[in-house]
Chain A
Amino acid sequence: MSAIQEMVRHLEKMGKISDEQFIVEMLKNREHLGSTGLGKGVAFPHGRSLAIKQLSVLFARSSGGIDFEALDGKPTKIFFLILAPSEEGADVYLALLSELISLIQKPSKLDKLMQVKDYPSLIDIFGGNED
């Protein structure tokens, strides 16, 4: 099972999307446009679809890292999957995407994300304002 499929399946189980296959197809197409693996071990697969209930972000980590055809050629260890309903404009998810990308530019935040073990500590990383 691909990383994308694994993440999408999780969101389907949680009732955030209505059809795994629609979303997997849409995300694969998005990767054809250009890898969302932006380097530094982080990828931001994203997109809009009719089969998405509400704006959702899924955080996933692979300790060994996987080949996601990242721009720097390095394995991807952290994924932020961002999904938005098709009837919403692009602005909402673009703003979220931009915020997450600025977050990982901070080396201390990125280090912490690479180690994070549970949801409360993940939320701490977003909320904490050191550096």
Chain B
Amino acid sequence: MREEFRLLIGLQDLDIMIKEVKDKATSQELKSMGFKLTGLEELQEARHEIAARIPVALLNRYEKLAKRYKLAILPVSGDKCLGCFVKLPTSFFSSAYSHELVTCENCGRLLYILRFNQ
């Protein structure tokens, strides 16, 4: 997979984490379990570092999608986009795209085909 896509997926994982900490109910729940959530600034610093390594056009596209949707990048499950549930064209599953992020033509989200062992 192309490095810029790897970075973008890492960025989204980090955004999920930051959102959880910023969400009062979630962070309260984690704190009540005994977790200390003191390193938010470090996470934001890590986010900044990753974002700086992503080409601007791709980053802007992600940020725009992230504002509109809960998740800008989604895994592909079956033959549908998990965001809008529209069936994806068969060409999408050709090997040419197996290591790429592809855009859902219906909703614009970025899609990634997950590969698992077994």
Q: Is A5 an interface residue (CB 8 A)?
A: no
Complex interface bits, A1-28 against B, C-beta within 8 A gives 1, otherwise 0: 0000000000011111110011001100
Q: Is B37 an interface residue (CB 8 A)?
A: yes
Complex interface bits, B27-53 against A, C-beta within 8 A gives 1, otherwise 0: 001100111111110110010000000
Which B residue's beta carbon lies closest to that of A21?
B6
Interface size of A by CB at 8 A reads 35
Q: Is A65 an interface residue (CB 8 A)?
A: no
Interface contacts beyond A22-B13, A33-B38, A50-B74: sample of 18 additional A-B pairs, CB < 8 Å, sorted by A:
A15-B117, A29-B13, A29-B14, A33-B17, A33-B40, A33-B43, A34-B35, A38-B34, A48-B13, A50-B114, A71-B36, A86-B12, A86-B13, A86-B71, A87-B71, A87-B75, A87-B82, A101-B33
List the count of A-B residue pairs having beta carbons below 8 Å apart.
95
Q: Is A94 an interface residue (CB 8 A)?
A: yes
CA distance A79 to B36 in the complex (A): 17
Which A residue's beta carbon lies closest to that of B12?
A50
Contact of A49 with B46 at beta-carbon distance under 8 Å, contacts A12-B117, A87-B74, A94-B26 already known: no
State whether B38 touches A34 (Cβ < 8 A).
Answer: yes
State whether B75 touches A85 (Cβ < 8 A).
Answer: yes
Give B contacts to A, CB under 8 Å: 6, 9-10, 12-14, 16-17, 20-21, 23, 26, 29-30, 33-40, 42-43, 46, 71, 73-75, 82, 112, 114-118
CA distance A87 to B75 in the complex (A): 8
Residue of B6, B30, B71, B117 touching A14 (CB-CB under 8 A): B117
State whether A26 touches B10 (Cβ < 8 A).
Answer: yes
Residues of B within 8 A of A101 (CB): 33-34
